[in-house]
Amino acid sequence: MKGELVKKLLLAAAALGVALVALALPGLARADSGGCLAHHPIYVEGTFETQYTQGCTGHDEPELDPLSNLAGSARDLTWTAVLPANGAFDVDATGPTFWFGGTVTDPKSAFGQAFVELQFYPNAYTLNCNPNGSFIVKQAPGVYTVCSPVWSVVKKSEPAAFNAMLSPPLSTQPLVMHAGDTITVHWFATAAADGYHVTVTDLSTGGQGTIVLNSKSDGPLMPAFDKQQLGNALGWGLVDDAPNSFVWEIGHADLYGAHPLQFCVPGQTFCDSFNNDSWAGFTPIRIFDATFGDGSHQENWAAVSDTGGIAEVLGNSFVGPTECTGYGGPYCIYPWFSTDTGGALNYGVDYPNTANDYGQATQFDQNLDCPDDGLFSGGTYCDTILK
């Protein structure tokens, strides 16, 4: 079974850990931190034994997919969202980044595909987005800044084909956004075919920045699919999803806590990713819609986890055993997508204004039910249509 074969992947990543970067910088009174959070590659023993590049790691990536049959919908789409805000818990307690990303072409990567993650770092002022896909930040409460690593698979490693800082025009400093700001994330391709473009606009302040995915080593990285449909999935991934998605990267401890960015699993009391009260302790992200090039919106929303959601908590995923004896209770839940009374999608737990939680964590497929794409033996986790 593929689920058994790929267990070695995350165990190897756990052994490597995350390389935190600490350095003295002029004008700063303390060292600053960072890390390298890569996309989750599949692992098939004897066939496709990809490992994270040394110093990088990853974990489960619960994702939300807007779906459309419109021609060009995977090449031109705009997300609209409100950035989450600290409360009794800080946003970064539950995970070091959330991102809007998608599958792109890369002639030097496995199956000609790579994956871009436009990573938003909560409570963080970005100092550098390194070529290896890592980031260096200093703590800045209420601030959001962004890097855009593109993860490829070359031989048995997962290097970054590209990384850049999101900055205002003609600036080398990060575009600074704040908790509670309404933003748009516009992915689009141009006739120049010079790489997938992404423009982030802070509607609350008017700030804006654009990144073009043109790799010095691999050339222009273009959207790999035309339609935002299920089955148009990354060739070296573990889920049957759509090309573009939103993901909250969970399974790492708070970057600014006692176990900075440490890989962690359900049941560990420093792993707020799996603790109900930690998610309930701040104002969640609000995702309103995805707008495609012709002005239409998503036909459906779907969700999937590459650890099986509840299956991970119970120790039935490639993550392996956890410290939970069952599902539920402190540090033993799996966060979910829900809709609030204002019509926006949240990620986390049930909030006072939750209108529909879609069965909470049962919304995620717990078994490898979907067929593979012909590249590997075994199955994949199916996307679940939420609405």
Per-residue model confidence as pLDDT tens digits over 156-166:
899 999 999 99
Average pLDDT over residues 299-324: 96
Average pLDDT over residues 94-98: 97
How many residues appear in the chain?
Answer: 387
pLDDT band at 374 (very low <50, low <70, confident <90, very high): low
CB 212 within 8 A of CB 273: no
Give the pLDDT confidence score for residue 54 in this predicted structure: 84
302 pLDDT higher than 50: yes
CA–centroid distance for 200 within its chain: 16
20 pLDDT higher than 80: no
Neighbouring residues of 8: CB distance < 8 A, sequence distance ≥ 6: 43, 45
Give the pLDDT confidence score for residue 212 in this predicted structure: 98
**How confident is the model over 105-135, as pLDDT tens digits?**
999 999 999 999 999 999 999 999 999 999 9
Higher pLDDT, 160 or 13: 160
**How confident is the model over 208-227, as pLDDT tens digits?**
999 999 999 999 999 999 99
Separation between Cα atoms, residue 310 and residue 316, nearest integer Å: 8
6 pLDDT higher than 80: no
**How confident is the model over 262-283, as pLDDT tens digits?**
999 999 999 999 999 999 999 9
Task: Give, in order, the Cα–Cα distances in Å from 226 to each of 11, 114, 231, 244.
Answer: 35, 15, 12, 11
Q: Report the range of poorest mean pLDDT among 10-19, 29-38, 317-326.
A: 10-19
Give the pLDDT confidence score for residue 80 in this predicted structure: 98
Task: Give, in order, the Cα–Cα distances in Å from 351 to each of 231, 284, 340.
Answer: 32, 8, 8
Give the pLDDT confidence score for residue 372 in this predicted structure: 67
Give the pLDDT confidence score for residue 263 in this predicted structure: 93
What is the maximal distance between C-alpha atoms in the chain?
55
Average per-residue pLDDT for the chain: 91
